[in-house]
């Protein structure tokens, strides 16, 4: 699903990049090692809001030019620039959370009305939630069973409106390692509007240093269970 160029109005005006929103992202960004610096994030957001306030709402070119200038001259905007280059849009202010050395955040793609969720480990490794393109899922017996029932089915990297829009569970072990569980949608076909046929609990593993170690499908919820997905955690 190729996103269209669009305007994102969330206190700031930004151009959405054309990209495959449902594709896995797995890349190391050394400048973001240690997670997103929240004070810098808020400071950059204020600068971008000032750019919007300075120009007429119909003058997008001037607003974007102002924002780009802030990116090139203000050190507090460096991490924001890096995140937007990878995801296409600015992370939502209310959905950036940092637990120990791991950060997770949400981005909203207005062109299609979907939210995607990202994890950032202590080394600056940026991960989108897994999709059907992740090779580890194809080895999982539960996923193979799902694919036999729905040959064109997909696990989408978005989290559905019928389930939690935060990690369904966060487990911290005695040694400091952690397991983040997100409940993601299973669709009959690969499109945003396609029929939801269930959901899957996907577990993301991080060691005590906050480094990403892998992902595993733990459970598949039939469509009838989506109202109480936490019962099996």
Q: Give the 3-state secondary structure of the chain.
A: CECCCCEEECCCEEECCCCECCCCCEEECHHHCCCCCHHHHHHHHHHHHHHHHHCCCCCHHHHHHHHHHHHHHCHHHHHHHHHHHHHCCCCCHHHEEEECCEEEEEEEECCCCEEEEEEECCCCEEEECCCCCCCCHHHCHHHHHHHHHCCCCEECCECCCCCCCCCCEEEECCCCCEEEEEEEEEECCCCCCCCEEEEEEEEEEECCCCCEEEEEEEEEEEHHHHHHHHHHC
pLDDT digits (tens, 9 = 90+) for 164-220: 456 777 888 888 899 998 888 899 998 878 888 888 888 999 999 999 999 888 888
Q: Cα–Cα distance between 203 and 75 in angstroms, integer?
A: 35
Q: Is the pLDDT of residue 22 over 50?
A: no
CA atoms within 13 A on the CB side of 156: 28
Residue with tokens 């000032």: 50
- Among 29-33, 214-218, 223-227, which is the least confidently predicted range? 223-227
Q: Is the pLDDT of residue 12 over 90?
A: no
| Contact between residue 38 and residue 46 where contact means Cβ atoms under 8 Å apart | no
Question: What pLDDT, on the 0 to 100 scale, is given for residue 166?
Answer: 63
Q: Once rounded to an integer, what is the mean pLDDT over residues 2-23?
A: 33
| pTM for this prediction | 0.75
pLDDT digits (tens, 9 = 90+) for 121-175: 999 999 988 777 777 777 788 888 999 999 999 888 766 544 545 677 788 888 8
Q: Is the pLDDT of residue 83 over 50?
A: yes
Q: Cα–Cα distance between 158 and 115 in angstroms, integer?
A: 6
| Contact between residue 44 and residue 68 where contact means Cβ atoms under 8 Å apart | no
| Contact between residue 134 and residue 212 where contact means Cβ atoms under 8 Å apart | no
- Among 19-23, 52-56, 143-147, 207-211, which is the least confidently predicted range? 19-23
Crossing angle of the two packed helices 60-73 and 38-54, in degrees rounded to 10: 150
């Amino acid at each position: 699903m190729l996103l269209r160029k669009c305007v994102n109005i969330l206190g700031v005006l930004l151009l959405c990049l054309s990209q495959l929103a449902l594709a896995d992202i797995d890349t190391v960004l050394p400048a973001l090692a240690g997670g997103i610096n929240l004070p810098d994030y808020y400071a950059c957001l204020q600068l971008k809001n000032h750019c919007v306030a300075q120009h007429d709402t119909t003058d997008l070119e001037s607003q974007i030019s102002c924002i780009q200038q802030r990116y090139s001259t203000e050190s507090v905007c460096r991490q924001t620039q890096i995140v937007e280059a990878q995801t296409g849009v600015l992370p939502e202010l209310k959905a950036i959370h940092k637990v120990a050395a791991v950060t997770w955040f949400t981005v909203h793609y207005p062109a299609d009305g979907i939210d995607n969720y990202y994890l950032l480990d202590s080394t600056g490794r940026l991960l989108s939630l897994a999709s059907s393109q992740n090779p580890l899922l194809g080895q999982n017996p539960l996923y193979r069973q799902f694919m036999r029932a729905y040959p064109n089915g997909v696990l989408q990297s978005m989290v559905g409106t019928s389930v939690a829009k935060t990690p369904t569970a966060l487990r911290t072990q005695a040694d400091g390692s952690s397991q983040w569980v997100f409940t993601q949608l299973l669709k009959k076909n690969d499109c945003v509007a396609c029929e939801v046929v269930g959901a899957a609990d996907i577990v993301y593993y991080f060691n005590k240093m906050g480094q990403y170690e892998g992902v595993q499908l733990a459970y598949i919820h039939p469509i009838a269970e989506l109202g109480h997905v936490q019962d099996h955690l």
